[in-house]
Amino acid sequence: MTTLNRRNFLSLAGASLALTGAGKFSLTTARAGTGFALAVLHINDMHSRIDEISRFNTNCAPSDSEEGSCFGGAARLATAIRSRRAALEDAGLPSITLDAGDQSQGTLYYTTYGGRAEVQMMNAIGFDAMTLGNHEFNRGPDNLAEMLRAAEFPIVAGNITVAEGTVLDGLINDHLVIERAGEEIGILGVTTPDTVFLSSPGDDVSFTDEIAHLQDAVADLQSRGVRRILLLSHVGYRRDQQIAAEVDGLSAIIGGHSHTLMSNTLEDATPYASLTESPSGRPVPIVQAFAFSRFLGEVTFEFAEDGAVIAATGDTIPLDASFAPADDIEDLIAPLREPIEEMTRRPVATLAAPIDGSRETCRAQECEMGNTVADAMLMEMSEAGVQIALTNGGGLRASLGDGQVSLGDVLTVLPFQNTLYTLDVSGATLIAALEHGVGAVEDGAGRFPQVAGLRFKLDLSVAPEQGRVSEVELRHEDGWQALDADATYTLVTNNFMAGGGDGYAMLRDGGMNGYDTAIDMAEVLARYLSANEPFAPSLDGRIALQ
């Protein structure tokens, strides 16, 4: 597999790739074109961010909104898409608008409406097609069927097979053919087969290997005379690269699932687009637009007679305050928001005793809220083979009193909408993370680690990063066993830390097979407290001060 990213001029199979003004990439080849160009507007992994978000991809505070420092949300996305469509139309360019999946899961909009609110926004904005993300199946096929029946746009995910006569039968397309300016564009879609264990598709839904499906699906479209073929993919950036290298005949891939930040202007971003060489040697552009409505992707393709992309330009567009939220979408959101505000007042569980989540304890030692949240994280992911939970004390923002606890109370403890993130790490990486976490106790730093599934000793008389952590042990069915620095362990943390937040660069750089579940930590804590009420916290010596 040959893959190209570019900060400077590069070439592949006769294709030249370079940066132009405003950070846009420019792809050109020497092949003859057909004179037909198509602009693609695309999003992925919206994760129920109907309201605008902060720079941390969480709920935007009213003061930040007034200052114009918020991003995204359905109303701002609508303005961006509508304005770009109008500009493209004025330039004589046909366009299509695509969603690469995972509209679902992430805020109380999904908890309350099960995906129907997200579909309502998409209907109002106007999408031409969507593929399914794994989180669309979170509430099972019955809920997904209700969501899809409300959609005024087609769903394409050809590697999904639905049993005949069941609720999803007839709601998911194998392929689509869309016409623009008298020309046909084939749209294929694939959803990660990992949905079987990442979500709840049920026994009547099965998933075919993406590459095997696409090799047949591309050939079928080509037999019908369709040569321009776009893949709408929810399998992740690395898998997209494998698909492009093994499936001949794809023009381009519009992806999702991995939340890959692609940009030609932002530091540390994967360049937009990347090229992968197909089996026949032609370049296949791959694009993605991060997540949470933070960006809108826009790319324009020109095609050769056989469907190969012979010229392209584009980049992701930050959805910042330069796009004013659309009034009509805000009017749709307002009545949906009212029950959510009421929900935050509803009881979640009864506590038999207070849970200490104070800054003084949770940033310095084992604390009751740290144990509670880490245990909740571990229990949530136990069926996925996760062995260890790790979260930062600074993410715990309040204590809880005894008696009845509301959802609003839980959101006060975990207000950042951080999500559960799983990854594989070596024992050495885990030890490095713990050492880093305890390295600034004296300063009250929020990076202090709260854990579940393991225990360790902490000696604050030792200098930072010089061995404060010792005797790290992992809980097994038959007792505690010493952590092996060379072994690999499956960890659940939060998406902030997994991305290197609070200085946990070793998780970002040393983690493998990372996956953002998009499951809100507050939702996990609420579920855990409810399942164990009347809940009483405890300290069990998992962080032993020496």
CATH number at residue 291: 3.60.21.10
Based on the fold, state whether residues 287 and 405 are members of the same structural domain.
no
Based on the fold, state whether residues 303 and 355 are members of the same structural domain.
no
Kindly report the backbone phi and psi dihedral angles of residue 540, in degrees, each rounded to the nearest multiple of 5, phi listed first.
Answer: -125, 10
Rounded alpha-carbon distances, angstroms, from residue 453 to 125, 390, 479, 532, 541 = 45, 9, 11, 18, 12
What pLDDT score does 143 carry? 96
Minimum mean pLDDT among 115-119, 265-269, 467-471: which range?
A: 265-269
Residue type present at position 426: S
Q: Report yes or no on 10 lying in a domain.
A: no
- For CA atoms 514, 518, 521, 527, the dihedral sign is negative
What pLDDT score does 19 carry? 62
What pLDDT score does 5 carry? 46
Residue 394 CA to its chain's centroid (Å): 23
Q: Report yes or no on 183 lying in a domain.
A: yes
Is residue 13 very low, low, confident or very high in pLDDT (cuts 50, 70, 90)? Answer: low
Kindly report the backbone phi and psi dihedral angles of residue 40, in degrees, each rounded to the nearest multiple of 5, phi listed first.
Answer: -120, 120
Based on the fold, state whether residues 354 and 334 are members of the same structural domain.
no
Among 333-347, 372-386, 400-414, name the most confident range. 372-386
Question: Is 476's pLDDT higher than 80?
Answer: yes
DSSP letter for 539, please: -
Based on the fold, state whether residues 380 and 329 are members of the same structural domain.
no
Percentage above 90 pLDDT, the chain? 76
Based on the fold, state whether residues 428 and 412 are members of the same structural domain.
yes
Across all residues in the chain, what is the average pLDDT? 92
- pLDDT tens for residues 18-56? 666 556 777 777 677 778 999 999 999 999 999 998 887
Based on the fold, state whether residues 355 and 305 are members of the same structural domain.
no
Residue of higher predicted confidence among 497 and 54: 497
Based on the fold, state whether residues 331 and 359 are members of the same structural domain.
no
- pLDDT tens for residues 219-267? 999 999 999 999 999 999 999 999 999 999 999 999 999 889 999 889 8
Based on the fold, state whether residues 313 and 401 are members of the same structural domain.
no
Q: 3-state class of 5 per DSSP?
A: coil
Question: Is 10's pLDDT higher than 50?
Answer: no
Rounded alpha-carbon distances, angstroms, from residue 435 to 112, 265, 313, 425, 470 = 40, 34, 45, 15, 9
Q: Report yes or no on 1 lying in a domain.
A: no
Domain count of the chain?
2
Among 146, 158, 257, smallest CA distance to 214 is for 158
Rounded alpha-carbon distances, angstroms, from residue 95 to 42, 63, 92, 255 = 11, 36, 10, 17
Residue in this structure with the two tokens 């290197």, named with its chain if needed: 500
What size, in residues, is the chain?
Answer: 546
Is residue 107 very low, low, confident or very high in pLDDT (cuts 50, 70, 90)? Answer: confident
DSSP letter for 306, please: T
Residue of higher predicted confidence among 61 and 372: 372
Q: Report yes or no on 4 lying in a domain.
A: no
Based on the fold, state whether residues 366 and 289 are members of the same structural domain.
no
Residue of higher predicted confidence among 427 and 53: 427
Is residue 14 very low, low, confident or very high in pLDDT (cuts 50, 70, 90)? Answer: low
Residue 4 CA to its chain's centroid (Å): 23
Q: Report yes or no on 9 lying in a domain.
A: no
Which residues lie below 8 Å from residue 443, measured CB to CB, with a gap of 6+?
none
Residue in this structure with the two tokens 């190969």, named with its chain if needed: 308
pTM, entire model: 0.79
Q: Report yes or no on 12 lying in a domain.
A: no
Residue-range definition of the domain harbouring residue 101: 18-48+55-338
Based on the fold, state whether residues 259 and 405 are members of the same structural domain.
no
The answer to whether 46 and 76 have CB atoms below 8 angstroms apart is no
Question: Is 58's pLDDT higher than 80?
Answer: no
What pLDDT score does 237 carry? 93
Of 338, 365, 389, the domain-final residue = 338
Among 35, 39, 36, 44, smallest CA distance to 24 is for 39
- For CA atoms 80, 83, 88, 89, the dihedral sign is positive
- pLDDT tens for residues 526-538? 999 999 999 999 9
Q: What is the CATH number of the domain that holds 413?
A: 3.90.780.10
What pLDDT score does 531 carry? 97
Q: Report yes or no on 356 lying in a domain.
A: yes
Based on the fold, state whether residues 434 and 295 are members of the same structural domain.
no
Question: Is 67's pLDDT higher than 80?
Answer: yes
Rounded alpha-carbon distances, angstroms, from residue 332 to 74, 127, 463 = 10, 17, 56
Minimum mean pLDDT among 5-19, 113-127, 144-158: which range?
A: 5-19
Of 311, 338, 365, the domain-final residue = 338
Determine which helix (DSSP H) or strand (DSSP E) holds 449, and give its type and residue range: strand 449-452
What pLDDT score does 42 carry? 98
Of 338, 362, 387, the domain-final residue = 338
- Average pLDDT for residues 388-401, to the nearest whole number? 92
Rounded to whole angstroms, the Cα distance separating 429 from 432 reads 5
Q: Report yes or no on 5 lying in a domain.
A: no
What pLDDT score does 184 carry? 97
Based on the fold, state whether residues 438 and 331 are members of the same structural domain.
no
Residue type present at position 506: M
